[in-house]
Chains A and B, each alone.
Chain A
Amino acid sequence: MKAYLLHRNSIVLAVLVVLTLISWYLGLDQVSVEQVSTWSGVTMLLLAFVKVRLVISNFMEVRAAPLPLKLCCDAWVVVASLLTISAYLGAFS
């Protein structure tokens, strides 16, 4: 069992939990200044997509996958994060 606990995936899990707690803390901290709010929102979305990339790469084992699958997954992460952040900033309304 020790081998599994000391595996890279355990470090990834710890990072994912810390990033979740940072996002949660940002969400708890209600800021009133519009500019700060916008950037904390963008930070939350960026953190989410960093977490998504970590899950895809490590838990889903895409880092050891053939190049086409790696490229497809990375392309999705980049496109989805750009579209989501643009939509959040009001680009599609």
Chain B
Amino acid sequence: MQYEPPMTDASVTSVNPVENKGHVPGEVGIWVLVMGDMLVFTLFFCVFLAYRSVDLELYRESRLQLNLHFGMLNTVLLLASSWLVATSIAAFRRRQLSVCKHSMGLAILCGLGFGLIKYFEYSEKFALGITPVSNEFFMFYFVLTGIHFLHLLIGLAVLSYLWLRLRRCGFDKLSPMVMESSATFWHMVDLLWIVLFPLLYLLP
């Protein structure tokens, strides 16, 4: 695939034209947070898998009680929302308010869809009497998906704020830095789920 730079416009990005050695999307601070979060989650993944390999049968049997289709649907929803947020950022740079606003709104809807499916999934488990104390697998399942869900809620709050600002004030007072930093956080929510999905739902 040919290299194609992001859809940017120097007047509406945080690129410093004097030092054009690549563009950091968003604040450097958000990248420190994202990298830190990803490292912590890497530790979670390894701890889960280490415990799993000690009692493989329990984990295999428990995994079969999860709804694979919900997991797959949620992955597709988060991927679509990430694409929509990336589209919104591109439209922001091109000063196309309508596309920017609607893409952001649809991304929020995808995120809400994820939350709704998670609600059904948790309800299904509780109805079957499955709770975090049922066994070790479900303790990990609820803790890992719960921490991820917390990230999702923070991301949704940030995206909703941006969407409301875009609706009320247009591009006024919304800096590229804020838009890009928020998008970076949202993409992290997506990529953490990309690993959690096979880890919890798929591994044989």
Docked Cα-Cα span, A92 to B76, in Å, equals: 31
Chain A nearest CB from B145 CB (Å) reads 16
Contact yes or no, A93 B50, CB < 8 A: yes
Contact yes or no, B49 A87, CB < 8 A: yes
Interface residues of A in 45-91 (CB under 8 A from B): 45, 47-49, 51-52, 55-56, 58-67, 69-70, 72, 76, 79-80, 83-84, 87-90
Neighbouring B residues of A72 by C-beta, 8 Å: 31, 35
Kindly supply a per-residue 1/0 record for chain B positions 47-61, scoring 1 wherever the CB is within 8 Å of any chain A CB and 0 otherwise: 011111110000000
Contact yes or no, B39 A76, CB < 8 A: yes
Neighbouring B residues of A12 by C-beta, 8 Å: 83
* Interface segment out of the listed B86-94, B127-135, B158-166, B167-175: B86-94
Docked Cα-Cα span, A64 to B22, in Å, equals: 6
Docked Cα-Cα span, A7 to B5, in Å, equals: 11
Contact yes or no, B25 A61, CB < 8 A: yes
A-contacting residues of B (Cβ < 8 Å)? 1, 3-8, 21-25, 31, 35, 38-39, 42, 45-46, 48-54, 68, 71-72, 75-76, 79-80, 82-83, 85-87, 90-91, 99, 103, 183-184, 187, 190-191, 194-195, 197-199, 201-204
Contact yes or no, B83 A10, CB < 8 A: yes
Docked Cα-Cα span, A90 to B46, in Å, equals: 10
Contact yes or no, B24 A69, CB < 8 A: yes
Judged by DSSP, the binding face of B is: helix
Chain A nearest CB from B76 CB (Å) reads 6
Q: How many residues of A contact B (CB 8 A)?
A: 58
Of the candidates B23, B53, B72, B195, the one whose C-beta lies within 8 Å of that of A87 is B53
Of the candidates A11, A59, A90, the one whose C-beta lies within 8 Å of that of B82 is A59
Known: A9-B86, A13-B79, A87-B53. A66 touches B21 (CB 8 A): yes
Contact yes or no, A23 B202, CB < 8 A: yes
Docked Cα-Cα span, A55 to B103, in Å, equals: 17
Known: A13-B83, A59-B85, A93-B53. A47 touches B198 (CB 8 A): yes
Q: Which of A11, A13, A38 has the most chain B CB within a 10 Å cutoff?
A: A13
Contact yes or no, B83 A80, CB < 8 A: no
Neighbouring B residues of A66 by C-beta, 8 Å: 21-24
Of the candidates B6, B35, B39, B46, the one whose C-beta lies within 8 Å of that of A92 is B46
Contact yes or no, A44 B42, CB < 8 A: no
Contact yes or no, A88 B203, CB < 8 A: yes
Interface residues of A in 1-22 (CB under 8 A from B): 1, 3-4, 7-13, 16-17, 20-21
